[in-house]
Structure 1
């Protein structure tokens, strides 16, 4: 599983907070097979994915939040749903 956080470079406060929240949620769940990456929202890849606002959190190919910092509970719930095939 891959979690991508698209934000500004250098990161703004919201982007930093989103990355911190995601990393804490992953750590609390204890899964070792989750890769978390911070990516530039102005990259070619972000453009192809239609990223328009920061921060955007994407798990695998599913967008979880756009333009705001997710809560740890939102991240955990999304991870569990995707792991269960939902």
Structure 2
């Protein structure tokens, strides 16, 4: 999952840090507010992307496990024996619990 998060971090670049000044002016505070809003928006996007990545990873694991079980069933068959079609279909149609 860390690879997926790294991809998202590359897609959503970090905002540059504004220069620091000793005096406070209205344009600086407006710029700061705009940057804070942009930061909040980007953090929300990152949370959404992270959630999507976790969902996709969970689904991938679910279907991989189905295929692994079917592969084990096929490998357990002796020569000229066909795997149990009904058992394979039962695995394929199992719901994600």
TM-score, with structure 2 as normaliser:
0.27
Higher relative strand content: 1
Q: Which has the higher contact order (CA 8 A, sep 6+)?
A: 1
Normalised to the residue count of structure 1, the TM-score between the two structures is: 0.30
